[in-house]
Structure 1
Amino acid sequence: MMGDFREVEQFIYREARLMDEHRYDDWLALWTDDATYWVPCGRDDGDPELQVSIIYDRYPQLVNRLQRLKTGKAFAEDPPSRLCRVISNIEMEDAAAGEIVARSSFVLGDLRKHQEVHWFGRTLHRLRKTDGELRIAYKKVILLNNDEPLPNLAFLI
């Protein structure tokens, strides 16, 4: 299990670094083709099909979101945010056959146009081995302040 834990831990750290560096193609390569990315709004345990979400993307919508960011024409990200994530409290759980569930906490510093914002939250990853490599099949990000008015969130949490 410790070998698996170390692999999962390093995967989550690498994902965070790729997002911080705006390496969207490399980040997208970490996902499965049937992946879901969810950032709930308000209730952490609601049904994203029935409630408003900050982000609720299947893989094709995630691709579209990244294409828009990569154009350099996304006004909300011009200039791009300078980002730094700190990931901690990584835990693994038992999951369905073929999947690994990992939970973690994060602090994210976001600096853009002399405005600094701090984000805090928890993340649930469902990871799956594909061709011997870990891939994200499902990611849920629970922002600590997801029931409050939020500032610009054009970059990916």
Structure 2
Amino acid sequence: MLSRENSATLLAAVTDFIYREARLQDEHQYEAWENLWTDDGVYWVPANGENIDPEREMSFIYDNRSRIALRVKQLLTGKHFTQTPQSRLRRLISNIELLGGQAGGDVSAAGNSLIFESNLRGDTIWGTRNEYRLRHVDGELKMAYKKVTLVNNDKAIYTLSFLV
């Protein structure tokens, strides 16, 4: 079990990581965002509920590490944008907490976010609950897993042309 001081230090490091990830996404710095992932990373945005089996039921996104790299590469070509100009984005992150223990050196954390998106179609607010499994790699935190549960994932979604 972590001491109170170690727990506070870990929470601060996790919070800094999550804030940095949000900034990179908001600024469309996709290569830098991709570099936040471990080699075995999984990025999941479920549809139609939060506890579905992504191997058997539809998800908005269910990417392994190579698919994450391909998604970023396609975004950077300019040929696979689903919108021009890109959405203007800002995330508000809150309620960050450490979850349980550290399994195998991984750190489990979660937090909420509101994503404000402005584009030619109008303005949209996306509410999410994000779960993370972070790992220390070469002295820095990396994402081994990220699950983004949209509050309204049971409704038709026009487009997720940015990384949530």
Tell me the TM-score normalized by structure 2: 0.93
Mapping for residues 24-43 of structure 1, pairs under 5 Å: 24-43=30-49
CA contact (8 A) 1:72 1:78 kept: no
2:73 and 2:130 map into 1 onto residues whose CA distance is 24
1:28 and 1:115 map into 2 onto residues whose CA distance is 28
Match of 2:144 among 115, 133, 137: 137
Instruction: Answer with 93-102 or 139-148: which moved more.
Output: 93-102
1:150 partner SS: coil
Give the equivalent residue in structure 2 for 1:64. 70
Match of 1:74 among 74, 80, 100: 80
User: Which 4+ stretches in 1 moved above 6 angstroms?
Assistant: none
The C-alpha deviation readout for 1:41-78, integer Å capped at 9, x for no partner, is 01211110000000000010011111111112224121
CA contact (8 A) 1:85 1:109 kept: yes
The answer for unaligned runs of 5 or more in structure 2 is 1-6
| Aligned length, in residue pairs | 157
Q: Counterpart amino acid of 1:106?
A: S
Q: Counterpart amino acid of 2:36?
A: L
Q: Percent identity?
A: 45
CA RMSD of aligned residues (A): 0.9
2:159 partner SS: coil
2:147 and 2:154 map into 1 onto residues whose CA distance is 16
Give the equivalent residue in structure 2 for 1:107. 114
1:43 and 1:114 map into 2 onto residues whose CA distance is 26
CA contact (8 A) 1:69 1:77 kept: no
